[in-house]
Amino acid sequence: MSEEQSTFQDLLVDEEEASEVLLTETLIDYIRIGDDSGNIVPQEKFEDLTNPKKVSVILLAQHALEGLEMEEEQWLTPTEISEKSGIKKGSVYPAVRRLDDENIAETDDGSYRIPSHNLETAKQYLTQEEN
C-alpha cells in the first residue's frame, strides 16, 4: 500500500488567483466595487471599523481594483485614501503610520499600499479585537 508522495510541484500556486481569492474573502463584508465606475461602495460593516481598519480596507480595495484593471497601481496617497474612504485627511495620517509601523502597509514617497505578501496579515488585522 503506497501513499501519494508530495513533490515540489505541490508547492506551486497561481499567485494572482490566490491573491484574488484572499482579497475577495477579506473585502466582501466591507465593500463592493462599482462595476462601471470602479467606485468603492462601503457596506454596513465598513462603517463600524476604526479608522486604521477602514484605511486597510481601502488599500486592499485599491489592490483589488488594480487586479481588476480598473486602476493602474496599488499605491494611494493620504488624500486619495481620504477621498475614497470619507475619512478626514487629518485622521488618515495616523492610520497609515500605524499600518506602516505594524508592517501591514508599506510606504514609498508618501504613498501607501498593502503588498501581496501582507494580504493574509491584513485579513487577520481586520478581524482582531481592538484594545
pLDDT tens digit sequence for 35-88: 999 999 999 999 999 999 999 999 999 999 999 999 999 999 999 999 999 999
- How far is the C-alpha of 117 from the C-alpha of 104, rounded, in Å? 9
- How far is the C-alpha of 80 from the C-alpha of 116, rounded, in Å? 20
pTM of the shown model: 0.88
Angle subtended at Cα 74 by Cα 73 and Cα 77, rounded to the nearest 5 degrees: 100
- Domains, the chain, in order of start with CATH, read 14-127 (1.10.10.10)
